Amino acid sequence: MFFKTEAQVHFVDTKTPDIETDAMLDIILSPAFYWVKRRKLPVRFIREAKKLAPSVFDDTLPEGEYSYTAYKEGEEYLLFAYNDKAILDQLLNKGIKPSQINRVYFAQSEFDRIDHPVAISTSHVLGLHDGIVVKLPAALSEQASPIDLSWHKCSSHTVDLARYAHIADRQSVIRFGSFMAVLTLLFLIELAIVGDKTKAIEAEQAGLFAKYDLKSTMMQNEAILKRLQSRYEEQEALRADLLAITSLKLGDGEHLLRLSREGNALKATWEVATSQRANVLASQLTKSGLAFKHQYRDGQLSVEVVR
Amino acid sequence: MKSINPMYIALLLIAALLVTAIKLHQAKQEQYEALESLKQTEATARRITALKEQWDSPQKRTAELERLLRSGALRNAGIVREKRNNTIILDAEAIDGKSAEYLFNKLLNGSYTIKNLRLKRLDASQADLHLEVTL
């Protein structure tokens, strides 16, 4: 209901004058635009009847490209053959653009219940003959009433005109659509595979936490790592400093008096005879890469490592 | 039934393909990030394990220190040990130079967290020693 387009209903015959309107149109095509046959067919469904339509109209139709449609009426099928391009060209000649066409009907489905002829122009009428709506010369009918579509309620038997063949024919649309569908499907398959792989990676990550007995958040683990790394670096630095201090080449009478580490302060004191020797020892320590402050007083060289 | 403009069908299909392509790109990005996070987690985990093994194994360090102090070189060195919270305190008055050197070498070459130390030379062969090892 919300998507139904309100369109004007127009009957179109080959002799219909041009239509000057920009409104959307529901078109009822005169029998001049199509061929119709009524048949009893050994099929159950309309789509099967449509497949048989070309053979039913074999030898009936003039040269050209035709589309077929059908619907069931009682025990019989009404089969239709029509030339899309010819119809659209005719409609265009009468001022009806393909974009204006809302729905298309055949006169057969719209006038199959008339009880008297209907005048469609000054020269022709629509009448019923053996249940088939036919276009007759007006002279053959005296009681024709003028066609009045103001109260007409269209049937459900719409006709599908190939209005977009100039953009792309059906084969091209199918080919393009199939290609795009296959590509989209491949992408979707890859999407599913990537999703699965990501889930597997996340499961592996969760497994690591259990395997290495990690804390539940990486922030906690980073903090633990930082603490341990800091302890490792501090102890390595201490060992390097102690190595430099204990590797000092002392002379006769020179010896290490005190070595202490309180908190981060590493201090060492040597008994050294002269300030010159103290300087020599200090430069040895400098060469070994130690950063320190030193002083020499009362025969003792005191060093405090600076970190 | 109305025919549908094939251009609309084409646009719809292209839009569907684009959306799928974007989703796929996002999914690949997420996969990459998950992989990077996994690598980082594994590296962190291995590092923590290695560092814990060396610098945060109180029971192991305690056992090793006990074995060291009971060894032939130090058993009779007069080293007094005391455990206070998570620290082992070693005190030795007038420890001989060889034992002190042996102890120092073992501690410095092992994964002991040396907190504080005091070494005071008494004479050519003896020294006072105070060591605090954090477990």
Q: Does A235 contact B113 at a Cβ distance shorter than 8 Å?
A: yes
- Tell me how close the Cα of B88 comes to any Cα of chain A, in angstroms: 15
Residues whose CB is less than 8 angstroms from the CB of residue A235 and which lie 6 or more positions away in sequence, other chains included: B55, B111, B113, B114
Stretch A129-153: mean pLDDT: 87
Confidence of residue A98 (pLDDT cuts 50, 70, 90): confident
Please give the pLDDT value at position A169.
66
Strands B126-134 and B87-96: antiparallel
Does the pTM exceed 0.80? no
What tens digit of pLDDT does each residue of B83-100 get?
A: 998 899 999 999 998 999
Compute φ and ψ for B86, nearest 5 degrees.
-110, 30
- The mean pLDDT of B63-90, rounded to a whole number, is 91
A70 within 8 A of A78, measured Cβ to Cβ: yes
**Bridge partners of A259?**
A268, B119
Q: Which residues contact A50 (CB under 8 A, 6 or more apart)?
A: A68, A69, A70, A79
* Confidence tier at A279 by pLDDT (50, 70, 90): very high
Average pLDDT over chain A, rounded to whole? 90
Contacts of B1 in chain A (CB under 8 A): 158, 160
In this structure, of A55-59, A138-142, A152-156, A277-281, the range with the lowest mean pLDDT score is A138-142
Q: Which amino acid is at A230?
A: S
pLDDT at B80: 93
Q: Would you call A198 and B13 a contact, using CB atoms and an 8 Å cutoff?
A: no
Q: Which residues of A touch B121 (CB under 8 A)?
A: 255-258
Q: Which residues contact A168 (CB under 8 A, 6 or more apart)?
A: A176, B6, B10
Q: Is the pLDDT of residue A142 over 80?
A: no
A236 vs chain B: nearest CA distance in angstroms?
A: 9
Over its C-alpha atoms, chain B yields an Rg (Å, rounded) of 33
Mutate to test the interface with A, among B8, B53, B117 (most CBs of A within 10 A): B117
Q: What is the pLDDT of residue A165?
A: 58
Once rounded to an integer, what is the mean pLDDT over residues A57-73?
91
Structure tokens at B33: 């990030």
Show residues of chain A in contact with B34, CB under 8 Å: 198, 201-202, 205
For residue B97 the two structure tokens come to 């130079």
Strand, helix or coil for residue B94: strand
Q: Which residue has the tokens 């305690």?
A: B62
B42–chain A nearest CA distance, Å: 7
Share of residues in chain A with pLDDT > 90 (%):
68
Whether pLDDT at A307 is above 70: yes
A267: closest CA among A304, A217, A218, A292? A304
Closest-CA residue of chain B to A209: B45
Smallest CA–CA distance from A188 into chain B, residue: B20
The answer to whether the Cα torsion of A103, A107, A109, A114 is positive or negative is positive
Position A258 pLDDT exceeds 90: yes
Pairing of strands A8-12, A25-29: parallel
Residues B16-22, mean pLDDT to the nearest whole number: 96
* Maximum mean pLDDT: which of A251-255, B31-35, B91-95: B31-35
Q: How does pLDDT run across A203-221, given as a tens digit for each residue?
A: 999 999 999 999 989 899 9
Q: Mean pLDDT over all residues of chain B?
A: 91
Which chain A residues touch B104 with a CB distance below 8 Å?
Answer: 246
Residue A99: predicted pLDDT? 85
Confidence tier at B126 by pLDDT (50, 70, 90):
very high
Checking if the pLDDT of B1 tops 50, the result is no
In tens, the pLDDT along A167-186 reads: 556 677 788 889 999 999 99
The pair of three-digit structure tokens given for residue A196, joined into one six-digit string: 């699965």
Which of A234, A104, A195 shows the shortest CA–CA distance to A156? A104
Q: Write out the DSSP string of A128-166.
A: EETTEEEEEEGGG-SSPEEP--TT----S-B----TTTT
Mean pLDDT, range A62-67, rounded to an integer: 90
- For residue A1, pLDDT over 50 is answered with no
Q: Do the Cβ atoms of A191 and B23 come within 8 Å? A: yes
Structure-model confidence comparison of residues A146 and B27, the more confident one: B27
SS3 A116: coil
Task: Provide, as residue numbers in chain B, all residues whose Cβ is less than 8 Å from the Cβ of A176.
Answer: 10, 13
- For residue A37, how many other CB atoms are within 10 A of its CB? 16
ipTM, 2 decimals? 0.82
> Residue B76 is which amino acid?
N
Arithmetic mean of pLDDT, A261-289:
92
In this prediction, residue A166 carries a pLDDT of 55
CA distance A211 to A221: 14
φ, ψ (nearest 5 deg) of residue A302:
-110, 135
For residue A60, count CB atoms less than 10 angstroms from its CB and return exposed for 0-12, middle for 13-18, buried for 19 or more: exposed
CA-to-CA distance for A152 and A109, rounded, in angstroms? 12
Tell me how far apart the alpha carbons of residues B92 and B99 are, in angstroms, rounded to a whole number. 10
Give B54's contacts in chain A (Cβ within 8 Å).
232
Beta-carbon separation of B20 and A191 below 8 A: yes
Residue B1 neighbours by CB under 8 Å, 6+ apart: A158, A160
Question: Are A232 and B20 in contact (CB < 8 Å)?
Answer: no
* Beta-sheet pairing, A8-12 with A101-106: unpaired
Size of interface A-B (CB pairs under 8 A): 145
Which tokens belong to A259?
Answer: 């070595």
pLDDT top residue among A197 and A160: A197
Is residue A303 within 8 A of residue A245, CB to CB? The reply is yes
DSSP-assigned beta bridge partners for residue A34: A82
Mean pLDDT of A200-205: 95
CA gap A113, A195 in Å, rounded: 61
- Give the C-alpha separation, A60 to A48, whole Å: 20
